[in-house]
Chain A
């Protein structure tokens, strides 16, 4: 970032030249924007997603009409798949901040081709993750009450505030570095693309003119946003953890839930970035730009976060397990050796420890193996949220007596699965459409990276020459 700030203007002029001459890197990233129907595979993919999302929407309308009784939830398990998925999907949204903001702040140059897709994943998952509590509401028609009668003392209001702030912030964070690329699209695709596309790029480029003033302003905004977005992201999953931790329920009544949830969010979010990265790389043939280096580096990040998450798990379960306080012990027995034992141990060893072992090896951080390991992590994170939410509700302080079987047991029914999968399909649709409208890598930043590489190379050569000269002159001295 600092490098770019010092060379704003030359960068800009360079870009202008390439817009005339044409360039392979730009071509690769602008190619998916070419319009047209897309391939058969694309059509099949979109049709499938739209069907899943449409079915989910139908189920939701049905649920609105008949009430939440269409789900498998009852008075004991009053939060089920929707709230678990809410925690999971919003967790995924921490990816963008992590990869993009942290790598920007630390000046990690390899970040350039993957920041856009990571930021995009944040916005997409946050939009649909934020919908999950609304889907879970018994009276969605009264959602405005949250603003009209909102009580700031309620952790739910903290969530509303943090998530809307994060959605606004991450949208800006996604959009800001897109502005020069929008100008590029405006200038490069102007003649060939449809009028609405031209309008879109012209509007979104905000009259970008490639001047030094433009670059300086963008750089300044980016710096501010990069710093601001990190505490906001941390606040989001902290207050989601607080929803549970602010109650007196065994299993939730924990002081580490804030950081524990943030760690879980980062671990699953970073893994989701790897999967997204692999998918876009494959779909748009970006092998030259999203390279083994990216998978290797991201794999290391995921590994570190997995280990942190495992550490939190040990704290969360081992400390109360040592004491086995009555109500807490009752729940822990069910998790360790009761009805949830199989799932619990598969999660701990299969989706935390195993991926950590795999990612420890260089061969485990390749695109294929790394992506599979990350997929396991993401699915595991989802089930883990479920195992945090549901068993606690099944183990209240007072015994569960004389209630229908369906109340003392819970497994999500088809309505809940349909609606949740519909939301996930919504994320995929958003990601796909975005990638067809806008460059999926930040073209100007990648170029900037290439520039820096070239400069470094030149600098190395020059210093090498200087060294050689001084050596020669030193030899000539005596």
Chain B
């Protein structure tokens, strides 16, 4: 599994470079009046040699090259809305392994170029009551099967796919923020101001499967790294978890895998560890499961009797 993943990454980086190139060529062929001039100027600028997917060696300006260390497959909006046939993605968090390090959040923010003020996956310090033990609680979007957010969207900008993933199309979103109000898990965030685009992000084409480049006045949230799943790799939070606490997989295959490469039976994992869904009583049917924080091998979070949300 591990070696497979490495070879895959190698291939992916080449494919990614090619994807970057595709963006460049299309930008150059746009039929604006001063394109030719610009093209000359760009040609005069610093160049770099790149091997394309079909084995050609070409020159491109360095300013146009994006460092793509991960696969980035861009599908059409229709495909992004349909999802991957035959799949039902799930995530399982083993709370007995989570030590609240926050590496999942960091990796997620890096991968999605997220401004530091919003966390698509957020690690909460929870304590259900004064007498019960505190625990760490990482929370992505739950990609509910009965999603309160997609129900209320007036323009079908956020939608549920056949593979269980809930995504947002920021070319459609009108910014009414009804979905933010409707989500009981506070999983949605809004682009209140004009987004600041990093250089790395600039040349990546938009897809609802990755949520960036961002657009002002639109909503965003955890997307289960839909573009990475399509490319056959794990969501970033999963592969960044040093405790191997996050499992990701396909319900139809009844298999989930963590960062260590342990692939286990989903039903057995849930059965043996008394897995549950957070706030199931709301009827939202989340696709994210939790295993209770028992037999912990590391210090639990400090008891905080005044923790907010404690009931």
Give the interface of A toward B (CB within 8 A): 66-69, 71, 73-76, 78-79, 133, 136-139, 142-143, 145-146, 148-151, 153-157, 160, 243-244, 246-249, 326-327, 329-330, 393, 396-404, 407
Q: Which residues of B contact A244 (CB under 8 A)?
A: 181
Q: Which residues of B contact A160 (CB under 8 A)?
A: 154
CB-CB under 8 A for A399 and B308, given A79-B181, A139-B175, A139-B218: yes
**B191 and A248 contacting across the interface, CB-CB below 8 Å:** no
Q: Which residues 249-304 of B have a CB within 8 angstroms of A?
A: 279, 282, 284
Interface readout for B163-200 with A: 1 if CB under 8 Å, 0 if not?
00000000011111110111011101111111000000
Min Cβ gap A56→B in Å is: 19
Which of B155, B157, B172, B311 neighbours the largest number of chain A CB atoms within 10 Å of its CB?
B155
**A154 and B154 contacting across the interface, CB-CB below 8 Å:** yes
CB-CB under 8 A for A248 and B184, given A149-B156, A150-B154, A398-B309: yes
Q: List 20 A-B contacts (CB under 8 A).
A: A68-B175, A69-B193, A73-B192, A138-B217, A139-B175, A139-B215, A142-B175, A145-B157, A149-B156, A150-B154, A150-B155, A151-B153, A154-B154, A246-B152, A247-B148, A327-B311, A397-B185, A399-B307, A399-B308, A399-B310
**B190 and A248 contacting across the interface, CB-CB below 8 Å:** no
**Interchain CA distance A397-B284 in the complex, whole Å:** 14
8 additional A-B pairs beyond A67-B194, A68-B217, A400-B308, beta carbons within 8 Å, are A75-B118, A75-B188, A138-B190, A139-B173, A154-B178, A248-B184, A327-B311, A397-B184
Within 8 Å of chain A (Cβ to Cβ): is B46?
A: no
Q: Which residues of B contact A148 (CB under 8 A)?
A: 155
**A138 and B218 contacting across the interface, CB-CB below 8 Å:** yes
Min Cβ gap A163→B in Å is: 13
CB-CB under 8 A for A67 and B181, given A145-B174, A146-B155, A154-B152: no
Min Cβ gap A156→B in Å is: 4
**A330 and B216 contacting across the interface, CB-CB below 8 Å:** no
**Interchain CA distance A69-B191 in the complex, whole Å:** 8
Interface readout for B20-62 with A: 1 if CB under 8 Å, 0 if not?
0000000000000000000000000000000000000000000
**B194 and A66 contacting across the interface, CB-CB below 8 Å:** yes
Min Cβ gap B196→A in Å is: 12
**B153 and A401 contacting across the interface, CB-CB below 8 Å:** no
Q: Which residues of B contact A145 (CB under 8 A)?
A: 155, 157, 172, 174
Min Cβ gap A141→B in Å is: 9
Q: Per a CB cutoff under 8 Å, which of B117, B188, B193 touches A66?
A: B193
Q: Which residues 206-221 of B have a CB within 8 angstroms of A?
A: 215-219
CB-CB under 8 A for A137 and B181, given A154-B154, A398-B309, A400-B308: no
**Interchain CA distance A136-B192 in the complex, whole Å:** 11
**Interchain CA distance A249-B118 in the complex, whole Å:** 21
**A78 and B308 contacting across the interface, CB-CB below 8 Å:** no
CB-CB under 8 A for A326 and B184, given A133-B176, A137-B175: no
Q: Which residues of A contact B122 (CB under 8 A)?
A: 401-402
* Complex: chain B residue closest to A398, CB-CB: B186
**A398 and B139 contacting across the interface, CB-CB below 8 Å:** yes
**B311 and A330 contacting across the interface, CB-CB below 8 Å:** yes
**B192 and A74 contacting across the interface, CB-CB below 8 Å:** yes
Q: Per a CB cutoff under 8 Å, which of A79, A137, A401, A407 touches B125?
A: A401
**Interchain CA distance A117-B182 in the complex, whole Å:** 38
**Interchain CA distance A138-B192 in the complex, whole Å:** 8
* Complex: chain B residue closest to A133, CB-CB: B176
Q: Which residues of A contact B216 (CB under 8 A)?
A: 67, 138-139
Give the interface of B toward A (CB within 8 A): 117-118, 122, 124-126, 139, 148, 151-157, 172-178, 180-182, 184-186, 188-194, 215-219, 279, 282, 284, 307-311
**A75 and B189 contacting across the interface, CB-CB below 8 Å:** yes
**B176 and A67 contacting across the interface, CB-CB below 8 Å:** no
Min Cβ gap B197→A in Å is: 14
Q: Which residues of A contact B177 (CB under 8 A)?
A: 78-79, 136, 138
Q: Which residues of A contact B219 (CB under 8 A)?
A: 138
**Interchain CA distance A95-B158 in the complex, whole Å:** 37
* Complex: chain B residue closest to A400, CB-CB: B308
**Interchain CA distance A66-B191 in the complex, whole Å:** 11
**B217 and A67 contacting across the interface, CB-CB below 8 Å:** yes
Min Cβ gap B278→A in Å is: 9
* Complex: chain A residue closest to B216, CB-CB: A67
**B155 and A67 contacting across the interface, CB-CB below 8 Å:** no
CB-CB under 8 A for A149 and B155, given A78-B190, A248-B282: yes
Q: Per a CB cutoff under 8 Å, which of A71, A138, A149 touches B191?
A: A138
Which 9 A-B residue pairings sit nearest by Cβ, starting from the closest?
Answer: A138-B175, A138-B217, A399-B309, A69-B193, A69-B192, A156-B154, A154-B154, A399-B308, A326-B311
Q: Which residues of A contact B309 (CB under 8 A)?
A: 330, 397-401
**Interchain CA distance A345-B151 in the complex, whole Å:** 35
**Interchain CA distance A77-B36 in the complex, whole Å:** 49
**B152 and A156 contacting across the interface, CB-CB below 8 Å:** yes
Q: Which residues of B contact A393 (CB under 8 A)?
A: 181
Q: Which residues of A contact B311 (CB under 8 A)?
A: 326-327, 329-330
Min Cβ gap B167→A in Å is: 15
Q: Per a CB cutoff under 8 Å, which of B172, B176, B307 touches A149?
A: B172
Q: Which residues of B contact A396 (CB under 8 A)?
A: 184-186
Which of A156, A399, A404, A407 neighbours the largest number of chain B CB atoms within 10 Å of its CB?
A399
* Complex: chain B residue closest to A397, CB-CB: B184
Q: Which residues of B contact A243 (CB under 8 A)?
A: 178
Min Cβ gap B247→A in Å is: 22
**A67 and B124 contacting across the interface, CB-CB below 8 Å:** no
**B218 and A151 contacting across the interface, CB-CB below 8 Å:** no
**B192 and A153 contacting across the interface, CB-CB below 8 Å:** no
* Complex: chain B residue closest to A325, CB-CB: B311
**B192 and A68 contacting across the interface, CB-CB below 8 Å:** yes
Q: Which residues of A contact B184 (CB under 8 A)?
A: 247-249, 396-397
Q: Which residues of B contact A248 (CB under 8 A)?
A: 148, 182, 184, 282, 284
Which of A71, A78, A143, A155 neighbours the largest number of chain B CB atoms within 10 Å of its CB?
A78
CB-CB under 8 A for A399 and B126, given A154-B153, A154-B178, A156-B152: yes
**B173 and A397 contacting across the interface, CB-CB below 8 Å:** no
**A76 and B186 contacting across the interface, CB-CB below 8 Å:** yes
Min Cβ gap B124→A in Å is: 6
Q: Which residues of B contact A142 (CB under 8 A)?
A: 155, 172-175
Min Cβ gap A318→B in Å is: 21
Min Cβ gap B310→A in Å is: 8
CB-CB under 8 A for A156 and B178, given A74-B192, A151-B155: yes
* Complex: chain A residue closest to B125, CB-CB: A401
Q: Which residues of A contact B310 (CB under 8 A)?
A: 399
**A399 and B182 contacting across the interface, CB-CB below 8 Å:** no
Q: Which residues of B contact A401 (CB under 8 A)?
A: 122, 124-125, 308-309
CB-CB under 8 A for A68 and B181, given A155-B152, A329-B311: no
Min Cβ gap A153→B in Å is: 6
**B193 and A137 contacting across the interface, CB-CB below 8 Å:** no
**Interchain CA distance A402-B119 in the complex, whole Å:** 10
Min Cβ gap A335→B in Å is: 16
Min Cβ gap A64→B in Å is: 9
